[in-house]
Structure 1
Amino acid sequence: MISVSKALSIISEVLYTPKTKTVLLKDTNGLRLSKNIPTPIHMPPFRQSAMDGYALLLHDKNTYQIIGEVKAGDADDYSLLPGQGVRIFTGARVPDNANTIVIQEKVIRSENTITINEEIHQNQNIRATGEQIKKGDIALEKGTKISPAGIGFLAGLGITDLEVFVPPSAAIITTGNELIAPGQKLQEGKIYESNSVQLQAVLEQFQIKEINKYIVQDEYESTKETIRQAIKNNDLVLISGGISVGDYDFVKEALSELGTEELFYKIKQKPGKPLFFGKNKETFIFALPGNPASSLTCFYIYVIPVIQKIMGDSASAGLKRTLKSLTKDFIKKGDRAQFLKAKVSNETVEILEGQSSAMLHSYAVANALVFIPENISKVDKDSLVETILLPD
């Protein structure tokens, strides 16, 4: 059995070369760039009006002759003489020799003449060519996570597709004779299967869409064959249940026979002690505890850093951690580290009732986990505790 810190260290040292592919810009939300994106044009591509008003060539008087009009999208240019100007609108191309724009609210117009009633300065209300970014500069760097704003920014540069890190294909294998699918009639001795549903949901939070689900009974050969197929066809395999030491827990034996490299097995923590992490060729494998809360906690703490590695997120190492003030005293039983379902509110965190590894109700309202190291047995109210923020 190893410590939490040792398990996380092993995960951090695992080597993986992320896969890449070219994707339409509209489909890249939440993915990460696999290379720098140079800017193909200046932005804006021409001197652009920032306001509705008048583009002028300054002279020493406060009256100007208006000789034309430029709307957004017009390609016409005007060569102004000192004391001349054009009516102009936001986003329109500014005439080459205009050197200021005065907003419409600050002038008095009479037919083709305007009188300005405020002091004006050169280049006011003019967006310079390349003011936002210049052609050839890096628009977004390798590893940047694409957001809706990023998609809009790149679309404005005329970019239509991107090379991104590919989300892994994932398999979820659910083991257990006692499990039946939600929607079926609940029989004596059976329970509804929930782990694959929650694991699929959290995988999808990380933009993983290719998810293959398998169900296997507690029988060795079928367990081994199902795992074999999952390893063959997926980058990431999550196995729910069957990893403990009961008479009908066959997962670890099957993984060993299939040639899986064991990177660690069993962590000194609660919940989730019987967690297995290994690698078979290029496929990462987690055998998660069968209890729903244990399974989800192990995913949040250990699977997410591996997903980040696969998806080219070299800057992250799991979920965000912070320090929050505890709302009441907490006494830890036993000598294992604990991950406790909790709720953050501003600068405080409350440890919730219902910490059993089988209980999801408290998880359903939690937005954080509080981590209590193995060497700490009591935490006083108002003490700062390490708090792991769950994904939105």
Structure 2
Amino acid sequence: MHVSATVWWLTILGIVGLLLFDFFFHVRKSHVPTLREASVWSALYVGIALLFGVGVWMFGGSEPGAEYFAGYVTEKALSVDNLFVFLVIMSSFKVPRADQQKALLFGIVFSLLARSGFILVGAALINMFAWVFYLFGLILLLTAGNLLKPEGEESHSPDNLMVRVARRLLHTSDTYDGDKLFTVQDGRRVMTPMLLVMIAIGGTDILFALDSIPAIFGLTQNVYLVFTATAFSLLGLRQLYFLIDGLLDRLIYLAYGLAVILAFIGVKLILHALHENNVPFINDGEPVPVVEISTGLSLSVIIGVLVITVLASLFSAKGRVQNTASMMRRHAQEYLDVEHDPGLRTELYGKLVAGEEQLRGLPDKHRKLVRQEAELKELLRRVHEEHDRS
């Protein structure tokens, strides 16, 4: 599918316009998005992405259209998994909920820029070296294997290399001043921890790109489709964060579903590499007659695996218990260490009381699934003590 320079520039300007609109009309003023606000805008961004895909299908053909949708669905699923890491970062740095939007939007913009760079590099490598498909396939298979390892919140450390370097070079204040990057403390202009939060998110975005870019190149090698599918999967991610915050811990089988998808795409890439083979030590540098996986089959497998994964997670008793316990742990920490607004604290306390009643109503075999139960009980005890004193 040939794309003219005019269409490229119009697409880029449209994406930049959506990001600027998001900043000036939603993020500029600190606030906690309501469920309705998050739902409406999440649906709008998904709708824009789907309409764009319909346009690709109509004007570019069914094959590019299917490639775009396969890439978009895969990248969106990977971005949902990434939201869990963002949640860990926000909790670790104790960012007030009303001030999280600017950090999230920065993460989305940084991710878009980083992935655009990786897309250009990936496209150049593919054009120069056919063996790159072997490398991409191996990366995806290794990533799929890593996703199958048991992990929890403690495995997603926000203290990455970029943050450690920033801590050494940048001296920040101990407290936030809304979502500002700088504040005045003791008559001096100093940086706030919000800058470290953005650096932590930016550092993790680079790691995410190393997985997502090979994945989408396994579905299409058209740079325009790779870029647009990636960009539209990131747009609306901020609203989605607030919309499915309460469901992130519930998706306990998402990592397994993503592992299957990435392994499937990895095999697809290796089969394509064999079909186009020119590596001297494989079949004497001649193409290997193998069956390639069609785009239609790829799209069907990706959607099918995600549907099964999400439904299995939502109807799982283990998922319900883990979701409730993890939310209570976060809300308790927010009540004790992060939020100072009386209205938000009252709302958090109400959620904690409701969560306690929900856990007490579970059978013993389900309550035993609560991880770090002693730590959770201690947090709840401190919350009740502080609430009684206030």
Alignment TM class, shorter chain as reference:
under 0.3
Q: When you count strand as a share of all residues, which structure comes out higher?
A: 1
Larger radius of gyration: 1
The normalised TM-score by structure 1 is 0.22
Query: Which structure carries more relative contact order (alpha carbon 8 Å, separation 6+)?
Result: 2
The normalised TM-score by structure 2 is 0.22
Q: When you count helix as a share of all residues, which structure comes out higher?
A: 2
